[in-house]
Amino acid sequence: MTLLLAPMEGLLDFVLRDVLTRVGGVDRCVSEFIRVTGTLLPDKVFLRYVPELLNGGRTLAGVPVRAQLLGSDPVCMAENAASLAALGPEGIDLNFGCPAKVVNRHGGGAALLQEPERIAALVAAVRRAVPAHLPVSAKMRLGFHDASLALECARAMQDGGACEIVVHARTKLDGYRPPAYWEQIPAIRAAVAVPVVANGEIWTVEDAQRCRAVSGCDALMLGRGMVADPGLARALRAADAGLPGTDTVAWAELLPHLMDFWRLVCADLEPRQRAGRLKQWLNLMRRRFPEAERAYQQVRTMTDQAAITLWLQALPTADCPAPVAPAA
């Protein structure tokens, strides 16, 4: 079983990649998309999205990170891919799944699923532009309005030189609404010879087991489910080994990781983003941990960085105590 950590703009960035890979169980990460819009991006842009490039293309826990590009012009994408490749990522992934209107309006992301021939040209241009040893993969949805071109799009990615295809089993029109249509993945697997990874609505061990059974995929990509339950990958590995429940991550084990997350947020993000990022993570973890619900309710109105730091430091010794104001 191969477990990948998904790219999620505005949520699963390098900060959360760092923390979640420390919890363990993940084989590889994919960065949020780096948007290519007609110019050759400077190295600092690639490094902003994928600072792991300064660490041999790996998180501090040693998990490789594949950098993702999003764009629609083959020449410009190829030039940027070559520049990115020189910085030493684990590989390059191409985004054909983003449902954002601003991206689709300019012909990127999921919009390209309406034109398989353009997908093939774009993948081939990137494949030619980077060293032969460097993996080039792709992530797709089932389609734009519907799944009628799913097989053609997957074949186009393979024909262009993609070595792996992640399938988010929903269309652009579906957005992130459940369910994910895992039952459509076997046809895609049958249509291509490269590995296919299943993605979408995997929140629990039971979800993952059903996804594997329905899709036929041994490789899964975890997104919001891993953010909500940072121990999900470890639990999946325990279940796969026939030892369910033996590697469940308890709330107490997550508290040091929560503090590490806050330190990284305060060090690397703008002040206006910091409190919101912590609340965003706690909000998702409410699905899995009752303690996260209590923590979220107490921190949701807080904005002062020093006060939040003191509150977090108190969590291990009390069950979500009332916020403490910083000393004058």
Active site residues per annotation? 98
In DSSP terms, which residues pair with 92 in a beta bridge? Answer: 67, 136
Residue 281 parent element (H or E): helix 271-285
Q: Which amino acid is at 156?
A: A
Question: Cα–Cα–Cα angle for 200, 108, 7, nearest 5°?
Answer: 35
Residue 196 parent element (H or E): strand 196-199
| DSSP label of 12 | B
Q: How many whole angstroms separate alpha carbon 148 and alpha carbon 125?
A: 25
In DSSP terms, which residues pair with 93 in a beta bridge? Answer: 68, 137
Rg (CA), the chain: 20
Asked whether the bond before 179 is cis by omega within 30 degrees of 0, the reply is yes
**Do 200 and 166 form a contact (C-beta atoms < 8 A)?**
no
Task: Look up residue 53 and give its two tokens.
Answer: 């490039």
* Residue 104 CA: distances (Å) to CA of 98, 126, 163: 8, 20, 25
Q: Which of 31, 99, 116 is nearest to 108 (CA)?
A: 99
